[in-house]
Amino acid sequence: MITSPIPPVVPAGRMAKMEQPVLTLPSGLELRPWRVSDADALVAAAQEPEIRQWNRLFVTTREEARERIERMRERWQTEQSAKWALARPDGGEAVGLIGWGDIDLQGGSAEILYWLLPAGRGRGAMVEATKRISRWAFEDLGLHRLRLCHAVANSASCRVAEKAGFTLEGTMRSALLHEDGWHDEHLHALVHGDI
């Protein structure tokens, strides 16, 4: 077996050994692991026009939503992704999703994913949540570089990126296929030490 002369940024197994934390936000909302009882929120998000426009969320039934929630747990254990429900504390209803996908522990990077139902919009909750899970990714998990990509036409995501401290690095041409066709994407990044 050939070993790399460059050690992994985060040792394999580190994330799987952690219990997914509940993270509090200044607004009083919290980020918590998804629960089977949150299935209706996933179904609602998949039907919401603004979420459908910018996200690949294909869930039509409660059963599909429950399966997806179970996959979220499995992907935490296999160190592929970390997704939280944005909710009111003490078992409150989920109003959004945020997390890290495409986690690369060896290379020390991940890409943020998020959406908010209308009930969670307009209070800066996504900016707070983005800042909070970025701190978690750097300080608790040990990643080095975080990406935030969004369709150029998605101005709300661009504002979240800017307010959360992510630097615009460029435009990726025809980078993501949405329901209405191919979109150019902005690439923003946050590197350990930026915050």
Q: Find the CATH number of the domain harbouring 79.
A: 3.40.630.30
Q: Could you tell me the two tokens for 91?
A: 């078992």
Q: Is 99 a domain residue?
A: yes
pLDDT over 80 (residue 30) = yes
Q: Is 3 a domain residue?
A: no
* pLDDT at 60 (0 to 100): 87
- Does the pTM surpass 0.85? The reply is yes
pLDDT over 90 (residue 17) = yes
Q: Is 5 a domain residue?
A: no
pLDDT in tens, 118-166: 988 988 999 999 999 999 999 999 999 999 999 999 999 999 999 999 9
Q: What is the dihedral of CA 10, 11, 13, 17, to 10 degrees?
A: -60
Per the structure, the count of domains in the chain is: 1
Which 3 state secondary structure label does DSSP give 102?
Answer: strand
Q: Is 136 a domain residue?
A: yes
Domain limits for position 159: 14-191
Rounded Cα distance between 40 and 16, Å, is: 27
pLDDT in tens, 45-54: 999 999 999 9
Q: Please name every residue paired with 85 in a beta bridge, in sequence order, or none if there are none.
A: 32, 97
Overall average pLDDT of the 75-90 stretch: 95
